Chains A and B, each alone.
Chain A
Amino acid sequence: MLVVAGLLLPTAYLLIRAFETSEAALQTFMRPRTWVIIGNTTGLALAVTTVSGLIAVPIAWLTVRSDLPWRRFWAVVTPLPLVIPSYVGAYLYISALGPRGALQQLLEGPFGITRLPSIYGFTGALFALTLMCYPYMLLSVRAALMRMDPSLEEASRSLGHNATTTFWRVVLPALRPALGAGGLLVALYTLRDFGAVAIMRFDTFTRVIYLQYSSFDRSQAAFFALLLIGLTLVLVAFEAQTRGVARYDQASGAVARPPTIIALGHWRWPAFAFCALIVSLSLVLPLTILFYWLVRGLLAGEQMGNLGSAVWNSLLASGGGAVVTVLAALPLAVLVVRRPGRLTALLERMAYSAFALPGIAVALALVFFGISYARGLYQTFAMLLFAYAILFLPQAFGALRTSLLQIHPGLEESARSLGYRPPQVFLRVTAPLMRPGLIAGASLVFLTAMKELPATLLLAPLGFRSLATEIWSAVSEAFFARAAAPALLIVLLSSVPMALLSMRERRGMS
Chain B
Amino acid sequence: MSLVSCEGLSKAFGPTCAVEQVSMTIQPGEILALLGPSGCGKTTVLRMLAGFEAPDQGTIALDQRLVAGPGLHVPPEERHVGMVFQQHALFPHLNVGQNVGFGLRGKARERQAQVQAMLKLVELDGYERRMPHQLSGGQQQRVALARALAPNPAVLLLDEPFSNLDADLRTTLRAQVRTILKQVGTTALFVTHDQEEALFMGDRIAVMQAGRLEQLARPQELFLAPATRFIAEFIGLAAFIPATVTTVGLATELGTVAQAIDAPVGTSVDMLVRPDDLELSADPQGNARILRCTFRGGDFLYDVALASQRTLRCVCNHVHEFAPDTRVQVTLAPGHPLAWFHPSEAN
Contacts and interface: CB of A to CB of B under 8 A. Distances in A.
Interface in B41-100: 50-52, 75-83, 85-89, 91-94
A249 B133 CA distance: 9
A151 B161 CA distance: 12
Interface in A372-423: none
B147 A159 contact: yes
B103 interface: yes
B92 A174 contact: yes
Interface string B125-154: 000000111000000000010011001010
B51 A157 contact: yes
Contact of B164 (A160, A254, A260): A254
A155 B82 CA distance: 8
Given A246-B131, A254-B164, A158 B92 contact: no
B185 to A, nearest CB: 20
Contacts of A163: 75
Given A155-B147, A159-B147, A170 B86 contact: no
A296 interface: no
A43 interface: no
Contact of B91 (A152, A154, A245, A254): A152
B176 to A, nearest CB: 20
Contact of A247 (B92, B147, B148): B92
A52 to B, nearest CB: 22
A250 interface: yes
Contacts of A170: 91
Contacts of B81: 158
Contacts of B83: 154-155, 158
Contacts of B88: 251
A338 interface: no
Nearest to A173: B93
B105 interface: yes
Contact of A151 (B77, B89, B102, B131): B89
Contacts of A158: 50-51, 76-77, 79, 81-83, 103, 148, 153, 157
B92 A246 contact: yes
B288 to A, nearest CB: 44
Main SS of the interface on chain B? Answer: loop
Contacts of B151: 159-160
Nearest to A152: B89
Most buried by A among B79, B102, B157: B102
Contacts of A155: 83, 85, 89, 91, 144, 147-148
Nearest to A154: B52
Interface string A260-289: 100000000000000000000000000000
A253 interface: yes
Given A158-B81, A173-B93, A247 B76 contact: no
Q: Which of A156, A158, A246, A249 has the most CB of B within 10 A?
A: A158
A262 to B, nearest CB: 12
Interface majority SS on A: helix, strand, loop or mixed? loop
A103 B89 CA distance: 53
A369 B204 CA distance: 81
Interface string A144-155: 000001011011
Contacts of B148: 155, 158-159
Contacts of B157: 158
Contacts of A246: 92-94, 131, 133
A354 to B, nearest CB: 30
Contact of A161 (B77, B85, B153): B77
A185 B262 CA distance: 77
B93 A176 contact: yes
A162 interface: yes
User: Which of B78, B80, B86 has the most chain A CB atoms inside 10 A of its CB?
Assistant: B86
B77 A149 contact: no
B103 A160 contact: yes
Contacts of A149: 87, 89
A251 B164 CA distance: 9
A312 interface: no
B77 A254 contact: no
A162 B76 CA distance: 8
A160 B83 CA distance: 11
A176 B148 CA distance: 25
A151 B90 CA distance: 9
A157 B75 contact: yes
B131 A245 contact: yes
Nearest to B133: A247
Contact of B87 (A160, A173, A251): A251
Given A154-B52, A246-B92, 5 more contacts: A152-B91, A157-B52, A158-B82, A159-B147, A170-B91
The 10 A-B residue pairs with the shortest CB-CB distance in the complex, in nearest-first order: A159-B103, A157-B76, A151-B89, A247-B133, A158-B83, A173-B93, A151-B85, A251-B87, A246-B93, A254-B87
Interface of B: 50-52, 75-83, 85-89, 91-94, 102-103, 105, 131-133, 144, 147-148, 151, 153, 157, 164
29 contacts: A149-B87, A149-B89, A151-B86, A154-B89, A155-B147, A155-B148, A156-B91, A157-B52, A157-B75, A157-B76, A158-B50, A158-B51, A159-B82, A159-B147, A159-B151, A160-B78, A160-B105, A161-B77, A161-B102, A163-B75, A173-B91, A173-B93, A174-B91, A176-B93, A247-B92, A247-B132, A250-B87, A251-B87, A254-B86
